[in-house]
Amino acid sequence: LKNKPGQRLLFSCAHSWFGCCQVTVRDALNQALDEELERDERVFLMGEEVAQYDGAYKVSRGLWKKYGDKRIIDTPISEMGFTGIAVGAAMAGLRPICEFMTFNFSMQAIDQVINSAAKTYYMSAGLQPVPIVFRGPNGASAGVAAQHSQCFAAWYAHCPGLKVVSPWNSEDAKGLLKSAIREDNPVVFLENELMYGVPFEMSEEAQSKDFTIPIGKAKVERQGSHVTLVSHSRLVGHCLDAAAVLAKEGIECEVINLRTIRPMDVETIEASVMKTNHLVTVEGGWPQFGVGAEICARVMEGPAFNYLDSPVTRVTGVDIPMPYAKILEDNSVPQIKDIIFSVKKTLNV
Protein backbone atom coordinates (compact mmCIF):
# COMPACT_ATOMS: atom_id res chain seq x y z
CA LEU A 1 0.00 0.00 0.00
CA LYS A 2 2.70 2.46 0.92
CA ASN A 3 4.15 2.54 -2.64
CA LYS A 4 0.86 3.71 -4.15
CA PRO A 5 0.06 7.08 -2.63
CA GLY A 6 -3.54 7.14 -3.87
CA GLN A 7 -4.24 3.78 -2.30
CA ARG A 8 -2.60 4.75 0.96
CA LEU A 9 -4.73 7.88 1.17
CA LEU A 10 -7.85 5.82 0.48
CA PHE A 11 -6.83 3.42 3.26
CA SER A 12 -5.99 6.07 5.84
CA CYS A 13 -9.16 8.07 5.15
CA ALA A 14 -11.54 5.12 5.07
CA HIS A 15 -13.48 6.76 7.91
CA SER A 16 -13.61 10.29 6.52
CA TRP A 17 -17.38 10.10 6.02
CA PHE A 18 -17.67 10.27 9.80
CA GLY A 19 -15.25 13.21 10.01
CA CYS A 20 -12.62 10.77 11.33
CA CYS A 21 -9.60 9.05 9.87
CA GLN A 22 -7.55 6.06 10.98
CA VAL A 23 -3.99 7.40 11.25
CA THR A 24 -1.00 5.58 12.73
CA VAL A 25 1.16 7.31 15.34
CA ARG A 26 4.04 7.18 12.83
CA ASP A 27 2.00 9.04 10.18
CA ALA A 28 0.73 11.56 12.74
CA LEU A 29 4.31 12.43 13.73
CA ASN A 30 5.26 12.61 10.04
CA GLN A 31 2.37 15.04 9.39
CA ALA A 32 3.44 17.24 12.31
CA LEU A 33 7.06 17.37 11.09
CA ASP A 34 6.00 18.09 7.51
CA GLU A 35 3.59 20.88 8.49
CA GLU A 36 6.06 22.59 10.82
CA LEU A 37 8.97 22.35 8.33
CA GLU A 38 6.66 23.96 5.75
CA ARG A 39 5.37 26.62 8.16
CA ASP A 40 8.73 27.87 9.47
CA GLU A 41 11.95 27.76 7.46
CA ARG A 42 14.03 27.91 10.68
CA VAL A 43 12.87 24.36 11.53
CA PHE A 44 15.16 21.49 10.52
CA LEU A 45 15.57 17.82 11.47
CA MET A 46 18.86 16.07 12.20
CA GLY A 47 19.81 12.61 13.42
CA GLU A 48 20.96 9.16 12.37
CA GLU A 49 19.24 7.76 9.25
CA VAL A 50 16.62 10.55 9.15
CA ALA A 51 17.23 11.63 5.53
CA GLN A 52 18.10 9.15 2.79
CA TYR A 53 16.83 6.11 4.71
CA ASP A 54 13.52 7.89 5.62
CA GLY A 55 14.19 7.41 9.35
CA ALA A 56 15.06 4.27 11.32
CA TYR A 57 11.34 3.90 12.11
CA LYS A 58 10.15 5.71 8.94
CA VAL A 59 8.85 8.68 10.95
CA SER A 60 10.63 11.13 8.59
CA ARG A 61 9.46 9.28 5.45
CA GLY A 62 9.47 11.53 2.37
CA LEU A 63 10.81 14.63 4.14
CA TRP A 64 14.34 14.51 2.67
CA LYS A 65 12.95 14.27 -0.87
CA LYS A 66 10.70 17.26 -0.19
CA TYR A 67 13.03 19.54 1.80
CA GLY A 68 16.54 18.44 0.77
CA ASP A 69 19.93 18.19 2.49
CA LYS A 70 19.75 21.57 4.18
CA ARG A 71 16.64 20.83 6.25
CA ILE A 72 16.85 17.04 6.76
CA ILE A 73 20.36 16.13 7.86
CA ASP A 74 21.89 12.66 8.27
CA THR A 75 24.50 12.58 11.04
CA PRO A 76 27.32 10.20 11.98
CA ILE A 77 26.78 7.90 14.98
CA SER A 78 27.96 10.57 17.43
CA GLU A 79 25.13 11.74 19.68
CA MET A 80 27.30 14.08 21.73
CA GLY A 81 28.50 15.80 18.55
CA PHE A 82 25.25 16.27 16.67
CA THR A 83 23.26 17.16 19.80
CA GLY A 84 25.83 19.87 20.49
CA ILE A 85 25.46 21.15 16.91
CA ALA A 86 21.67 21.20 17.30
CA VAL A 87 21.81 23.09 20.63
CA GLY A 88 24.22 25.63 19.11
CA ALA A 89 21.90 26.07 16.13
CA ALA A 90 19.00 26.74 18.51
CA MET A 91 21.07 29.37 20.33
CA ALA A 92 21.85 30.97 16.96
CA GLY A 93 18.15 31.39 16.12
CA LEU A 94 17.17 28.19 14.30
CA ARG A 95 14.59 25.66 15.58
CA PRO A 96 16.22 22.21 15.40
CA ILE A 97 14.52 18.86 15.91
CA CYS A 98 17.19 16.46 17.17
CA GLU A 99 16.24 12.80 16.74
CA PHE A 100 17.75 10.05 18.87
CA MET A 101 17.39 6.61 17.31
CA THR A 102 16.33 5.65 20.82
CA PHE A 103 16.44 7.73 23.99
CA ASN A 104 18.92 5.27 25.47
CA PHE A 105 21.48 6.88 23.16
CA SER A 106 20.66 10.33 24.55
CA MET A 107 22.81 9.32 27.53
CA GLN A 108 25.79 9.96 25.25
CA ALA A 109 24.56 13.54 24.94
CA ILE A 110 22.92 14.17 28.31
CA ASP A 111 25.43 16.95 29.10
CA GLN A 112 24.29 18.83 25.99
CA VAL A 113 20.60 18.27 26.78
CA ILE A 114 20.80 19.37 30.43
CA ASN A 115 23.82 21.65 30.85
CA SER A 116 23.75 23.33 27.43
CA ALA A 117 20.04 23.30 26.49
CA ALA A 118 17.99 23.20 29.71
CA LYS A 119 19.94 25.73 31.81
CA THR A 120 20.93 28.43 29.31
CA TYR A 121 17.68 30.44 29.29
CA TYR A 122 17.86 30.78 33.08
CA MET A 123 21.63 31.36 33.26
CA SER A 124 21.37 34.12 30.64
CA ALA A 125 18.61 35.86 32.64
CA GLY A 126 16.14 35.18 29.83
CA LEU A 127 18.31 36.64 27.05
CA GLN A 128 19.18 33.37 25.31
CA PRO A 129 16.30 31.01 24.51
CA VAL A 130 17.07 27.48 23.26
CA PRO A 131 14.10 26.40 21.11
CA ILE A 132 14.91 22.75 20.41
CA VAL A 133 13.04 19.44 20.38
CA PHE A 134 14.81 16.21 21.35
CA ARG A 135 12.66 13.34 20.06
CA GLY A 136 12.75 9.58 19.53
CA PRO A 137 11.45 6.32 20.98
CA ASN A 138 11.62 5.92 24.75
CA GLY A 139 11.00 3.06 27.18
CA ALA A 140 10.85 -0.70 26.68
CA SER A 141 10.48 -2.03 23.15
CA ALA A 142 10.65 -5.81 22.59
CA GLY A 143 13.67 -8.07 22.89
CA VAL A 144 16.35 -5.38 23.07
CA ALA A 145 17.55 -6.10 26.63
CA ALA A 146 18.76 -3.85 29.43
CA GLN A 147 20.75 -1.16 27.62
CA HIS A 148 17.96 -0.32 25.17
CA SER A 149 14.83 -0.62 27.31
CA GLN A 150 14.75 2.13 29.91
CA CYS A 151 12.18 4.89 30.32
CA PHE A 152 13.68 8.40 30.57
CA ALA A 153 10.51 10.24 31.64
CA ALA A 154 11.63 10.59 35.27
CA TRP A 155 15.28 11.29 34.31
CA TYR A 156 14.46 14.33 32.22
CA ALA A 157 11.41 15.47 34.20
CA HIS A 158 13.76 15.83 37.19
CA CYS A 159 15.51 18.74 35.48
CA PRO A 160 14.20 22.34 35.61
CA GLY A 161 14.44 24.13 32.27
CA LEU A 162 13.16 21.20 30.21
CA LYS A 163 9.61 20.42 29.20
CA VAL A 164 8.95 16.68 28.95
CA VAL A 165 6.16 15.36 26.75
CA SER A 166 4.95 11.75 26.42
CA PRO A 167 2.14 11.20 23.89
CA TRP A 168 -0.03 8.09 23.68
CA ASN A 169 -2.19 8.15 20.54
CA SER A 170 -2.02 9.76 17.09
CA GLU A 171 -3.82 12.95 18.11
CA ASP A 172 -1.45 13.40 21.09
CA ALA A 173 1.56 12.75 18.87
CA LYS A 174 0.61 15.30 16.22
CA GLY A 175 -0.75 18.05 18.46
CA LEU A 176 2.01 17.85 21.05
CA LEU A 177 4.87 17.62 18.52
CA LYS A 178 3.61 20.76 16.77
CA SER A 179 3.43 22.56 20.13
CA ALA A 180 6.91 21.32 21.05
CA ILE A 181 8.42 22.64 17.80
CA ARG A 182 6.79 26.06 18.37
CA GLU A 183 7.88 26.16 22.05
CA ASP A 184 10.76 28.52 22.96
CA ASN A 185 12.08 26.19 25.66
CA PRO A 186 13.88 22.87 25.07
CA VAL A 187 11.40 19.99 24.90
CA VAL A 188 12.15 16.30 25.43
CA PHE A 189 9.57 14.45 23.32
CA LEU A 190 9.28 10.81 24.35
CA GLU A 191 7.70 8.55 21.73
CA ASN A 192 7.21 4.77 21.96
CA GLU A 193 8.52 2.32 19.39
CA LEU A 194 5.70 -0.18 19.95
CA MET A 195 3.10 2.54 19.24
CA TYR A 196 4.41 3.73 15.84
CA GLY A 197 2.38 1.25 13.78
CA VAL A 198 -0.82 1.50 15.84
CA PRO A 199 -3.73 3.26 14.08
CA PHE A 200 -6.11 5.57 15.97
CA GLU A 201 -9.18 7.55 14.99
CA MET A 202 -8.17 11.13 14.27
CA SER A 203 -10.82 13.85 14.26
CA GLU A 204 -11.20 16.31 11.41
CA GLU A 205 -9.98 19.06 13.73
CA ALA A 206 -6.76 17.12 14.43
CA GLN A 207 -6.06 16.81 10.72
CA SER A 208 -5.96 20.58 10.20
CA LYS A 209 -2.61 22.36 9.96
CA ASP A 210 -3.55 24.65 12.85
CA PHE A 211 -4.18 21.80 15.31
CA THR A 212 -2.01 21.86 18.45
CA ILE A 213 -2.37 20.44 21.98
CA PRO A 214 -1.11 22.67 24.81
CA ILE A 215 1.93 21.36 26.70
CA GLY A 216 1.16 20.82 30.40
CA LYS A 217 -2.45 19.69 30.05
CA ALA A 218 -3.57 16.13 30.84
CA LYS A 219 -6.66 14.51 29.27
CA VAL A 220 -9.36 12.41 30.91
CA GLU A 221 -9.67 9.52 28.43
CA ARG A 222 -12.46 7.74 30.31
CA GLN A 223 -14.87 8.98 32.97
CA GLY A 224 -15.30 6.87 36.10
CA SER A 225 -16.36 7.14 39.73
CA HIS A 226 -14.55 4.44 41.74
CA VAL A 227 -10.81 4.83 41.10
CA THR A 228 -8.46 7.12 39.18
CA LEU A 229 -5.82 5.57 36.91
CA VAL A 230 -3.03 7.96 35.85
CA SER A 231 -0.62 6.93 33.11
CA HIS A 232 1.40 8.14 30.12
CA SER A 233 2.51 6.81 26.73
CA ARG A 234 1.69 3.23 25.74
CA LEU A 235 0.35 2.22 29.16
CA VAL A 236 -2.64 4.58 28.80
CA GLY A 237 -3.95 1.92 26.39
CA HIS A 238 -3.35 -0.78 29.00
CA CYS A 239 -5.29 1.30 31.55
CA LEU A 240 -8.25 1.65 29.17
CA ASP A 241 -8.18 -2.12 28.51
CA ALA A 242 -8.08 -2.83 32.26
CA ALA A 243 -10.92 -0.34 32.81
CA ALA A 244 -13.06 -2.15 30.20
CA VAL A 245 -12.54 -5.49 32.02
CA LEU A 246 -13.23 -3.95 35.44
CA ALA A 247 -16.40 -2.24 34.16
CA LYS A 248 -17.90 -5.70 33.57
CA GLU A 249 -17.41 -6.33 37.28
CA GLY A 250 -19.07 -3.04 38.22
CA ILE A 251 -15.86 -1.08 38.89
CA GLU A 252 -15.76 2.25 37.02
CA CYS A 253 -12.21 3.57 36.45
CA GLU A 254 -11.41 7.14 35.46
CA VAL A 255 -8.37 7.06 33.14
CA ILE A 256 -6.10 10.10 32.88
CA ASN A 257 -3.58 10.40 30.04
CA LEU A 258 -0.85 12.70 31.43
CA ARG A 259 0.45 13.75 27.97
CA THR A 260 3.03 16.02 29.67
CA ILE A 261 5.35 14.84 32.45
CA ARG A 262 6.87 18.28 33.12
CA PRO A 263 5.11 20.59 33.84
CA MET A 264 2.71 18.05 35.36
CA ASP A 265 -1.02 18.76 35.33
CA VAL A 266 -1.60 18.06 39.03
CA GLU A 267 -4.96 19.91 39.02
CA THR A 268 -6.59 17.34 36.70
CA ILE A 269 -5.30 14.47 38.88
CA GLU A 270 -6.51 16.18 42.08
CA ALA A 271 -9.97 16.89 40.66
CA SER A 272 -10.33 13.24 39.70
CA VAL A 273 -9.10 11.92 43.06
CA MET A 274 -11.56 14.20 44.89
CA LYS A 275 -14.29 12.50 42.86
CA THR A 276 -13.14 8.83 43.02
CA ASN A 277 -11.27 8.82 46.39
CA HIS A 278 -8.76 6.24 45.06
CA LEU A 279 -5.60 6.54 42.96
CA VAL A 280 -3.44 4.07 41.01
CA THR A 281 -0.47 5.30 38.94
CA VAL A 282 0.78 3.24 35.99
CA GLU A 283 4.14 3.64 34.21
CA GLY A 284 6.73 1.54 32.40
CA GLY A 285 9.74 3.05 34.20
CA TRP A 286 11.45 1.95 37.40
CA PRO A 287 9.70 2.60 40.75
CA GLN A 288 12.37 4.60 42.64
CA PHE A 289 11.92 8.37 42.16
CA GLY A 290 9.61 7.65 39.21
CA VAL A 291 6.67 9.52 37.68
CA GLY A 292 4.26 7.65 39.99
CA ALA A 293 6.36 8.54 43.03
CA GLU A 294 6.11 12.23 42.10
CA ILE A 295 2.33 11.97 41.64
CA CYS A 296 2.05 10.31 45.10
CA ALA A 297 4.03 13.14 46.70
CA ARG A 298 2.09 15.91 44.94
CA VAL A 299 -1.28 14.39 45.88
CA MET A 300 -0.14 13.96 49.49
CA GLU A 301 1.03 17.59 49.69
CA GLY A 302 -2.16 18.99 48.14
CA PRO A 303 -5.87 19.28 48.86
CA ALA A 304 -6.77 15.87 47.36
CA PHE A 305 -4.98 13.96 50.14
CA ASN A 306 -7.94 14.33 52.54
CA TYR A 307 -10.22 12.74 49.94
CA LEU A 308 -8.24 9.48 49.65
CA ASP A 309 -9.95 6.43 51.17
CA SER A 310 -6.88 4.20 50.77
CA PRO A 311 -3.15 4.59 50.04
CA VAL A 312 -2.07 5.37 46.48
CA THR A 313 -0.82 2.27 44.60
CA ARG A 314 1.95 2.38 42.00
CA VAL A 315 2.17 -0.01 39.05
CA THR A 316 5.66 0.27 37.53
CA GLY A 317 8.34 -1.61 35.67
CA VAL A 318 10.25 -4.04 37.90
CA ASP A 319 13.30 -2.62 39.71
CA ILE A 320 15.88 -4.51 37.61
CA PRO A 321 17.78 -3.99 34.36
CA MET A 322 15.52 -5.35 31.59
CA PRO A 323 16.13 -9.07 30.94
CA TYR A 324 16.48 -10.35 27.38
CA ALA A 325 14.40 -13.55 27.63
CA LYS A 326 10.83 -12.90 26.51
CA ILE A 327 9.09 -14.50 29.51
CA LEU A 328 11.25 -12.46 31.90
CA GLU A 329 10.67 -9.30 29.86
CA ASP A 330 6.88 -9.80 30.01
CA ASN A 331 7.16 -10.06 33.79
CA SER A 332 9.30 -6.91 34.00
CA VAL A 333 6.81 -4.48 32.42
CA PRO A 334 3.26 -3.75 33.62
CA GLN A 335 0.58 -5.95 32.05
CA ILE A 336 -3.18 -5.40 32.04
CA LYS A 337 -3.59 -8.07 34.75
CA ASP A 338 -1.21 -6.11 37.03
CA ILE A 339 -3.36 -2.99 36.69
CA ILE A 340 -6.55 -4.97 37.44
CA PHE A 341 -4.90 -6.56 40.49
CA SER A 342 -3.76 -3.16 41.83
CA VAL A 343 -7.18 -1.57 41.34
CA LYS A 344 -8.83 -4.40 43.28
CA LYS A 345 -6.20 -4.15 46.01
CA THR A 346 -6.74 -0.39 46.29
CA LEU A 347 -10.53 -0.80 46.45
CA ASN A 348 -10.15 -3.78 48.80
CA VAL A 349 -12.28 -5.95 46.50
Q: Tell me what the mean pLDDT of segment 251-269 comes to.
A: 98
Q: Do 170 and 76 sit in the same domain of this protein?
A: yes
The answer to whether residue 79 is catalytic is yes
- 328 plus 198 within the same structural domain: no
Q: Which of 36, 79, 191, 294 is catalytic?
A: 79
Residue that terminates a domain, selected from 186, 207, 228: 207
* Set 148, 158, 201, 252: catalytic member: 148
Tell whether the model's pLDDT for residue 45 goes beyond 80. Answer: yes
| Model confidence at 263: pLDDT above 80 | yes
Same domain, 159 and 230: no
The stretch 272-291 carries a mean pLDDT of 98
Mean pLDDT, the chain, whole residue set: 94
Position 169 confidence tier, pLDDT thresholds 50, 70, 90: very high
pLDDT band at 20 (very low <50, low <70, confident <90, very high): confident
Residue 15 lies in a domain: no
| Same-domain status, 103 and 195 | yes
Residues 311, 331, single domain; the answer is yes
SS (H, E, C) the chain: CCCCHHHHHHHHCCCHHHCEEEEEHHHHHHHHHHHHHHHCCCEEEEECCCCCCCCCCCCCCCHHHHHCCCCEEECCCCHHHHHHHHHHHHHCCCEEEEECCCHHHHHHHHHHHHHHHHCHHHHCCCCCCCCCEEEEECCCCCCCCHHHCCCCHHHHHCCCCCEEECCCCHHHHHHHHHHHHHCCCCEEEEECHHHCCCEEEEECHHHCCCCCCCCCCCEEEECCCCEEEEECCCHHHHHHHHHHHHHCCCCCEEEEECCEEECCCHHHHHHHHHHHCCEEEECCCCCCCCHHHHHHHHHHHCHHHHHCCCCCEEECCCCCCCCCCHHHHHCCCCCHHHHHHHHHHHHCC
Q: Same domain, yes or no, for 63 and 183?
A: yes
pLDDT band for position 19 (cuts 50, 70, 90)? low
Identify the pLDDT of residue 277: 98
State pLDDT tens for residues 291-304. Answer: 999 999 999 999 99
User: Domain limits at 241?
Assistant: 219-347
- In terms of domains, do 143 and 225 share one? no
